[in-house]
Amino acid sequence: MKYVLVIPDGMGDRPVKTLGGKTPLEAASTPNMDFFASHGEVGLSSNIPVGFVPGTDIGCLSVFGYDPRKYFTGRGPLEAAELGIKLKTGELAFRCNLVTVDGGLMKDFTADHISTLEAGALLRSLNERLAPSLRKKLKFYPGRGTGYRNLMRVNEADAALKSVSCTPPHDILGKKYADFLPKSDGSEFLIRLMRESLELFKKHPVNQKRKAAGKLEASMIWLWGQGVPPNLPTLHERFGFKGAVITAVDLVKGIAIYAGMDVINVPGVTGFFDTHYAGKAEYAVRALEDHDLLVIHVESTDEAGHMGDARLKVKAIEDVDRQVLGTLRRGLEKFEDYKVMVLPDHFTCVETRTHSDEPVPFLIYSSKENKEGPEKFCEKTALKSGWAVSEGYTLMDLFVGRD
């Protein structure tokens, strides 16, 4: 039996006015997901435990089968794993975004999708500008992150710094950023770093070039998501499986690495709308020759939600359906038996442009069984099915356990 889990990030959504009251998934033409749903089962899964901020970190831990309450230590350390940065005891990793602020407001949490090269140049300048005492304490990793997604490592972090309350920049779009700077004891040091970056980046050649090219500037760094490394039982320890993941997102790679899975890099995968969707599925089918479980994570559905563009989200979902699920459907035929699960990590609502924690629709299909699921896969049919999984992390056991 081969297992494929597809995670369209942030695909779940609420009814949208401009779509005539349909959700983007409902409005999208999704013949392949509908095929799997109508010959399988659908339901709703609560991936975000009460009290947790709905994010890809928490959502994907659940999707990979780990109880976030037990295993989540922060987003930074998950991404550090992907970068090959091994944290020692007492060390902290922070997520470090490059963001655009304008008129005191958070304008773009991606700094207009700044390139890895440009981001590297900015962070290099920041490393060089650090006071000698700070240089021993912390480090940025120029060129190691992907575009706007970067990392800061802190040695000898005290308890106060570990528990500083930080806000993800994608949650404060259009809001006064100063209201959301790190809070509580230990935060002064972080705020100082962020303000220093604002000064340093203002006249930086990278930004002068961006301005001339009509792009948004990378105004400053935004620190959040700090944590110590988590201790996850591996997929092999749990199921005796060999697994692999295909994703452009560092944090998802990080979860996979802690789960003992291989990370397969597919050329042309960007984490944006120009991503090589079909390539992900082709590589997945090939990798299944010597793996039991393949996880394909697609980011564009989430990005469209953050942009607040309903049509773009519909298009991203249709691309995922046609190119990822369609390619999979054809490719999987060569295996005797296979199962497919489609499970987004959380909602990313186009009307609010942010994540939310309501239960997400999922589908499970097995080539061995012919069930009668709904004709259409969407939030409404998932609700109608009456199948509600209250602990999203248990779905993985169910998926691989019920043959």
Binding track, positions 248-277, relative to Zn ion; x by CB under 5 A: ------------------------------
- Please give the residues from 216 up to 245 whose contact with Zn ion meets the rule CB under 5 A: none
Following CA atoms 54, 58, 64, 69 in sequence, which dihedral angle do they give, to the nearest 10 degrees?
Answer: -120
- Would you call 245 helix, strand, or coil by DSSP? strand
Candidates 36-44, 52-60, 95-103, 200-208; binding stretch for Zn ion (CB under 5 A): 52-60
Candidates 152-160, 215-223, 279-287, 339-347; binding stretch for Zn ion (CB under 5 A): 339-347
DSSP letters for 214-267: TPPP--EEEEEEEEPPP-PPPHHHHHS--EEEE-S-HHHHHHHHHTT-EE---T
Choosing from 56, 150, 354, 366, the residue that interacts with Zn ion (CB under 5 A) is 56
Select 10 or 169, whichever has its Cβ closest to Zn ion: 10
Candidates 108-116, 160-168, 226-234, 341-349; binding stretch for Zn ion (CB under 5 A): 341-349
At 248, list the tokens. Answer: 């452009």
Select 271 or 374, whichever has its Cβ closest to Zn ion: 271
Q: With binding defined as CB under 5 A, does residue 57 bind Zn ion?
A: no
- Nearest residue relative to Zn ion (C-beta): 56
Pairwise CA distance, residues 280 & 265, whole Å: 9
At 166, list the tokens. Answer: 């930080």
- DSSP letter at 219 equals -
Query: Shortest gap between Cβ of 54 and Zn ion (angstroms)?
Result: 8
Select 9 or 79, whichever has its Cβ closest to Zn ion: 9
Candidates 113-121, 209-217, 243-251, 299-307; binding stretch for Zn ion (CB under 5 A): 299-307
The separation between the first and the last C-alpha atoms of the chain, rounded to the nearest angstrom, is: 8
Select 10 or 225, whichever has its Cβ closest to Zn ion: 10
Is-contact 173 147, C-beta < 8 A? no
Select 249 or 266, whichever has its Cβ closest to Zn ion: 249
Select 109 or 140, whichever has its Cβ closest to Zn ion: 109
Choosing from 13, 321, 345, 379, the residue that interacts with Zn ion (CB under 5 A) is 345
Choosing from 2, 6, 8, 9, the residue that interacts with Zn ion (CB under 5 A) is 9
At 107, list the tokens. Answer: 């304008």
Pairwise CA distance, residues 186 & 149, whole Å: 23
Q: Do you know the residue count of the chain?
A: 403
Query: Shortest gap between Cβ of 379 and Zn ion (angstroms)?
Result: 16
Pairwise CA distance, residues 399 & 369, whole Å: 13
Query: Shortest gap between Cβ of 46 and Zn ion (angstroms)?
Result: 15
Pairwise CA distance, residues 213 & 111, whole Å: 14
| CB environment 165-182: b (16+ within 10 A), e (fewer) | ebbbbbbbbeeebeebbb
Point out which residues bind Zn ion (CB under 5 A): 9-10, 56, 302, 345
